Amino acid sequence: MFAAGRSWVLERPADLESLWQGLDETDPEAEEHIPYWVELWPATLALCDWLARNAQSLARSRCLDLGCGLGLSALVASDLGAEVVGMDCEEDALRYASGNARLNGVPQPLWVRMDWNHPGFSAGTFDCIWGGDVLYEQRFFEPLEALLLRCLAPGGQVWFGDPERTVSRNVWSRFARRGWRVRNQGQVVVPFEHSSMTVNVWELSRL
């Protein structure tokens, strides 16, 4: 895998389709644990390139990677000199992310198992917060905004990679109505499987 100007080696247990077939359909919580984290989504790749273009602002900054999955964007930022916390609610994701950090010789980010509905960080902890394709359900908006309002330091920035999903189309105007400065920093067409996906990089800050 090539991203942010260098090659990366990423290990994962299997692809999403294989793991999905192994889920227990009788488990009422199975839908909450669909292993989306095993895939490297185009939004994450777009974010990685954005982070590389903003390397100066990342150096020595305190950063949070929301839903870090296999860890790539956290590793990119750590490699650029940021102090990164990679957060995911899935223990398996964090185990592979930690292993991928070792494989790539990157200073270890702090990997934290946490549900964004119940963040345990102190107020104003992070200078930069980002997430790739994390707004794929409408119910995620309220807890994510609450996390941002609590955890983002004054003058901090938020970056979302979003692949033009119908469900997230109105999210950005919703943020703006709630007092956020919202900027579309451009579109990137990212190859994905046998096709491609258009990803927008959105930047948020408080007015």
Contact 10, 40 (CB under 8 A): yes
Which is nearest to 43 in space by CA: 203, 150, 200? 200
| Cα distance between residue 189 and residue 145, in whole Å | 27
Which pLDDT does position 204 carry in this prediction?
A: 98
What tens digit of pLDDT does each residue of 184-205 get?
999 989 887 778 889 999 999 9
Confidence check: pLDDT of 152 > 60: yes
Confidence check: pLDDT of 146 > 90: yes
- Residues in contact with 17: Cβ distance below 8 Å, sequence separation at least 6, in sequence order: none
Which pLDDT does position 24 carry in this prediction?
A: 61
What tens digit of pLDDT does each residue of 86-118 get?
999 999 999 999 999 999 999 889 999 999 999
- Rg of the chain in Å (alpha carbons): 16
Which pLDDT does position 91 carry in this prediction?
A: 95
| Check whether domain 2-206 has CATH 3.40.50.150, yes or no | yes
Given pLDDT bands bounded at 50, 70 and 90, which one contains residue 63? very high
Contact 9, 104 (CB under 8 A): yes
Given pLDDT bands bounded at 50, 70 and 90, which one contains residue 164? confident
Question: What global pTM score does this model have?
Answer: 0.92
What the block records as the tokens of 139 is 């119910």
Given pLDDT bands bounded at 50, 70 and 90, which one contains residue 4? confident
Confidence check: pLDDT of 1 > 90: no
Mean pLDDT of all residues in 144-162: 97
What tens digit of pLDDT does each residue of 64-82 get?
999 999 999 999 999 999 9
If DSSP codes are grouped into helix, strand and coil, which group holds residue 194?
Answer: coil
Position of tokens 């964007």?
Answer: 73
Q: What is the DSSP letter of 168?
A: G
- CA 200 vs. chain centroid, Å, equals 14
Confidence check: pLDDT of 167 > 60: yes
